[in-house]
Amino acid sequence: MPDRFKASRSSESSFDPLSVGLQPPPNETEEEKEVRLAAAREAVRVSRTIDVGLVESKKAMERKKRAVKILLLGQSESGKSSVLRNFRLAFTPKYFESERLLWKTVIQLNLISSLKKILAVLQEEWDETESAGTKSATLLTSEHRRLALSLSPLLAFETGISNMLSSDSPSGGYTVTVRPGGGWKDKLASFGRAPSSDDPPSPTGAPGSDPSQVTQVLAACKDEIISLWGDTVVRSVLESRDVHLKEAPGFFLDDTERIAALDYVPSDRDIMRARIRTLGVEEHRFVTESGFRAGTEFFITDVCGSSNQRSTWIPYFDDVQAILFLAPLAFWQSLDEDAKVNRVQDSLEIWREIVGNPLLAKTAFILLFNKKDILQAHIAAGVLVKKFVPSFGDRPNDVASVTKYFRDKFSAYHRKFSPEPRPFIFYETEAIDTKSTAIILGEVQEQIIRNHMKGLDVM
């Protein structure tokens, strides 16, 4: 082969377009060279950061595959959040303790929300009697007006802080409402430290949006709150308008003396009773500090229980090891969304649908008959089950008989509609009773982990 062809092929094979692209431009100045090299170093840094992020994401996905995944299901206000807090208290006590003072503001807001409801009812009473021209028709007096007026500053705090916690969608109701993700906790925590020049401005800029001031204002209004709530005329007005605050979640008016104190620190039971509504789905990750196989990683997903949100549950059925289904036996209540639908009957229908879902054929179901203390109180007060559930018939109107009746209903649906045979596991719980709930959750945790380890073929 002629030498000229050899030289041509050798030249072509050594050509590297990348090296040509990296060559400095002709007539490059020192300043331009420094800028080019700095850009190259930044590109390398960004590339390495992306590589590290991809590696960490892969590790996180592998960890999640081996973690225990639990889904919390049930109606709105069934007690899912309280069970989750009990889980935190029982198995991640250090984390639970770190959030104690954050719940102080939530509990204070719950107390003020109850007051807000009372004042709204009293105003309705005044408006109606005055419009009818029969001022004497109400037993409310000028003293009640004075009390209502003296407590009105608290409403500005309740509105300001609630809007600050859910700045993208202020609720304007009687329940503190937040978005998933824990951002509201960060906002509350920021008020526990001295302000910094780097801090962003207040989300609302409105007076009363600083939780650090609530304690002082509550303490100043404590006597008026106790006087208003203890007034027999006020109680009769609430009763006449079918307002039963004691049955509502987040009720703390009976504890005003303690909660309105300057040195108030929430008890574990207070935190379990606190009411905060989360819009949407929230996933909670934690590693157990105690209990069976301490160090186990959990992912617990809490989904919205409102009837118009249940269609969003299905995507979370994938790869879940256990479902904790909460069904308070509140046979005397109807759904907030539809007053014609009995709460227990609605729970039964949800239970029938999920146990029969083929995507959950291998999933363990654990049924929690929650709020048994409220059931006991209503039975003791003489509330008849057959008045609300005619099929209950003439069975004994006691807690044991009522619980057995509904337990048999859930068990029959579980047996009939499950795609594959599986054990029917249930517990009677009172989420605000932290000691008994911890024992139950300990058993639940051990059972779920054992099933999970069998699925991983490590037991």
* HEC per residue, 61-81: HHHHHHCEEEEEEECCCCCHH
Q: Annotated binding residue at 372? A: yes
H-assigned helices in 166-315: 183-190, 214-230, 232-240, 256-259, 268-273
Strands 297-302 and 282-287: antiparallel
Specify the pLDDT at position 447: 73
Phi and psi at residue 365, in whole multiples of 5°?
-110, 130
Specify the pLDDT at position 57: 67
Specify the pLDDT at position 281: 83
Specify the pLDDT at position 4: 47
**Per 3-state DSSP, what percentage of the chain is helix, strand, and coil (rounded to 5)?**
60, 10, 35
Specify the pLDDT at position 458: 42
Q: Annotated binding residue at 370? A: yes
**Which residue is listed with tokens 């590696």?**
55
Q: Annotated binding residue at 301? A: no
Q: Annotated binding residue at 27? A: no
The Cβ-side half-sphere exposure at 158, using a 13 Å CA radius, reads 23
What does R_g of the chain's alpha carbons equal in angstroms?
Answer: 30
Specify the pLDDT at position 237: 93
DSSP 308: G
Specify the pLDDT at position 202: 43
Q: Annotated binding residue at 371? A: yes
Q: Tokens standing for 282?
A: 């929230």
The Cβ-side half-sphere exposure at 170, using a 13 Å CA radius, reads 12
Beta bridge partners of 286: 298
> Is 129 buried (19+), middle (13-18) or exposed (0-12) by CB count in 10 A?
middle
Q: Taking CA 116 as the corner, what is the angle to CA 302 and CA 131, rounded to the nearest 5 degrees?
A: 130
Q: Annotated binding residue at 278? A: yes
67-92+288-455 carries CATH number 3.40.710.10:
no
Say if residues 177 and 304 touch (Cβ distance below 8 Å).
Answer: no
Per-10-residue mean pLDDT of the chain, 459 residues long, equals: 47 57 75 84 88 73 70 87 87 90 92 93 88 68 92 85 69 70 77 46 47 84 94 93 88 95 93 86 82 78 76 81 90 85 92 93 90 91 93 94 96 94 89 78 76 54
Specify the pLDDT at position 17: 64
SS3 430: coil
Domain segments of the chain: what residues?
A: 67-92+288-455, 100-195+204-273
Stated pTM of the model: 0.76
